[in-house]
Structure 1
Amino acid sequence: MTIKQDQYYIDQVLEGNTNAFTILVDQYKDLVFTLALRMLKNREEAEEVSQDTFIKVFKSLQKFKGDSKFSTWIYKVAYNTCLDRIKRNKRQQQVVAIDEYTEKYVKSIDNALNNMVEEERLLAIQDCINFLPNDDGFLLTLYYFEEQSLAEISNIVGISANHVKVKLYRSRQKLATILKERLEPEMIEYYEREKK
Structure 2
Amino acid sequence: MTMRTEEQLIEGIKKGNKEDFSFLIDNYQLYALKVAYRFTKDKALAEDVVQESFIKVYRKLNLFEGRSSFKSWFTRILLNTCKNRMRKNSRESLGLDTPKPSKVQGPEASMIHLDIGEMLKREIDLLPEKQKQALMLRVYEDLSFKEVAEVMESPYDTAKANYRHALMKLREKFESCDLLKSWMIESNTSSGHWLGEIMEVDV
TM-score by length of 2: 0.63
Residue 132 of structure 1 corresponds to which residue in structure 2?
124
CA distance, structure 2, for counterparts of residue 85 and residue 14 of structure 1 = 27
Measure how far apart 1:30 and its partner are.
Answer: 1.6
> Alignment partner for residue 150 of structure 1, among 145, 148, 153?
145
Measure how far apart 1:154 and its partner are.
Answer: 1.6
Residue 11 of structure 1 corresponds to which residue in structure 2?
11
CA distance, structure 1, for counterparts of residue 176 and residue 25 of structure 2 = 37
1:129-160: CA deviation from partner (whole Å, max 9, x where unpaired): 36522844442232124332223212211223
Measure how far apart 1:60 and its partner are.
Answer: 0.9
1:28-56: CA deviation from partner (whole Å, max 9, x where unpaired): 11222222122222222111111111110
Measure how far apart 1:65 and its partner are.
Answer: 0.7
CA distance, structure 1, for counterparts of residue 5 and residue 150 of structure 2 = 22
CA distance, structure 2, for counterparts of residue 63 and residue 55 of structure 1 = 14
Residue 80 of structure 2 corresponds to which residue in structure 1?
80
CA distance, structure 1, for counterparts of residue 85 and residue 175 of structure 2 = 28
Q: 1:163 aligned to 2:155?
A: no
CA distance, structure 2, for counterparts of residue 178 and residue 78 of structure 1 = 31
CA RMSD in angstroms comes to 3.5
Measure how far apart 1:128 and its partner are.
Answer: 3.0
CA distance, structure 1, for counterparts of residue 49 and residue 175 of structure 2 = 28
Residue 109 of structure 1 corresponds to which residue in structure 2?
none
Farther off after superposition, 64-73 or 12-21: 12-21
- Of Structure 1 and Structure 2, the greater helix share is in 1
Seen in structure 2, the aligned counterparts of structure 1 residues 175 and 10 have a Cα distance that, compared at 3 Å, is same
Residue 97 of structure 1 corresponds to which residue in structure 2?
none
Aligned residue pairs: how many? 157
Seen in structure 2, the aligned counterparts of structure 1 residues 64 and 87 have a Cα distance that, compared at 3 Å, is same
Residue 141 of structure 1 corresponds to which residue in structure 2?
136
CA distance, structure 1, for counterparts of residue 175 and residue 16 of structure 2 = 49
Residue 44 of structure 2 corresponds to which residue in structure 1?
44
Secondary structure (helix, strand or coil) at the match of 2:124 reads coil
Measure how far apart 1:78 and its partner are.
Answer: 0.7
CA distance, structure 2, for counterparts of residue 142 and residue 64 of structure 1 = 21
Measure how far apart 1:174 and its partner are.
Answer: 4.1
Seen in structure 2, the aligned counterparts of structure 1 residues 181 and 27 have a Cα distance that, compared at 3 Å, is farther
CA contact (8 A) 2:35 2:141 kept: no
CA distance, structure 1, for counterparts of residue 118 and residue 137 of structure 2 = 12
Q: Which amino acid aligns with 1:129?
A: K
Seen in structure 2, the aligned counterparts of structure 1 residues 78 and 157 have a Cα distance that, compared at 3 Å, is same
Quote the sequence identity (%): 25
Farther off after superposition, 29-38 or 75-84: 29-38
Residue 33 of structure 1 corresponds to which residue in structure 2?
33
Seen in structure 2, the aligned counterparts of structure 1 residues 10 and 178 have a Cα distance that, compared at 3 Å, is farther
